[in-house]
Amino acid sequence: MKTVNRISLVLLIAASFSQAAYARRADREGLNFGSSVRIMDSDDRGQQSTLNDKNTRTKSAGQAFSPYLGYSFEALNLGIMLNVENKYEEFSEKSPSTNQELSRQASTSSKAASLFARFNFGKIMYFQAGAGVYSQVTDIRTELRNTSGLEFQGTTSNYKLEGMGPGYHAGVGLELPASNGFFFTGSYMVHNYQLRDTTHSSYGSLIGSQQKRELAFGIAYYN
């Protein structure tokens, strides 16, 4: 609740200064659309030590896109935004002393559709807040293997978890004029949302809440 109050206060302050900032604003009026992009990739390794006899490796990769369509009335820009994110993570753990190997692959697909409002100020800055519906599907596969002796022993488990629920986002951004109506964009957004179980095609119990903080870059066009 404190976060929502702070965001509301910031937006009210931005709105109160919108008329004074209009004279200094770049040409950001009319129909506009664009998209921001995030690309993630990591490869982490852990070596055995006196306190831990396991070698570990974690690999992850992901991409996220946030296309939007809006209409700007001078200081106020209203529109709809989509968020599409795909993430894949692979974790492996091997113990030389026991010859046990654990591997886990997890893939997550997240989508969201939100209505948003932007308060343009200065020449290039804006505050943004919005609310909408978030959904997420996670597939996890786990394998445990034991290679000691002459026999191979192992177990495998798979499960899928689907969730959907309401959420909101807020943050700040900038739009740097390029040419012919194009702008280079950058933003920092915080997403908060709750997910309820929909694995069995019904809106079930709460399975968790999430907060994501993202720094993204992209391009926009004003017609």
Q: What is the pLDDT of residue 15?
A: 44
Query: Distance (Å, rounded) from C-alpha 159 to C-alpha 161?
Result: 7
The H or E element that residue 15 is part of is helix 2-16
Query: Distance (Å, rounded) from C-alpha 81 to C-alpha 114?
Result: 5
For residue 101, the Cα-to-chain-centroid distance in whole angstroms is 32
Query: Distance (Å, rounded) from C-alpha 79 to C-alpha 193?
Result: 20
For residues 46 and 56, is the Cβ–Cβ distance under 8 A?
A: yes
Strand pairing report for 153-177 and 182-197: antiparallel
Average pLDDT, the chain: 83
On the CB side of 221, how many CA atoms lie within 13 Å of its CA?
6
Q: 143 to each of 90, 157, 216, how far by Cα in Å?
A: 12, 7, 35
For residue 46, the Cα-to-chain-centroid distance in whole angstroms is 27
Question: Helices then strands (H, E): number in the chain?
Answer: 2, 8
- Is residue 154 over pLDDT 90? no
For 65-102, what is each residue's pLDDT tens digit? Answer: 999 999 998 899 999 999 999 999 998 888 877 778 88
- Is residue 135 over pLDDT 90? yes
Banded model confidence at residue 204, pLDDT cuts 50, 70, 90: confident
- Is residue 136 over pLDDT 80? yes
Domain of 87 in residue numbering reads as 2-222
Give the torsion sign (CA, 138, 86, 111, 11): positive
Tokens standing for residue 86: 């795909």
Largest CA distance in the chain: 80
Q: What is the pLDDT of residue 52?
A: 66
Query: Distance (Å, rounded) from C-alpha 62 to C-alpha 38?
Result: 8
For 14-56, what is each residue's pLDDT tens digit? Answer: 444 444 344 334 578 899 999 998 888 887 777 766 666 778 8
Number of structural domains in the chain: 1
- Is residue 152 over pLDDT 80? no
Rg for the chain, CA atoms, rounded: 23
CATH number for the domain that contains residue 14: 2.40.160
The pTM is what?
Answer: 0.77
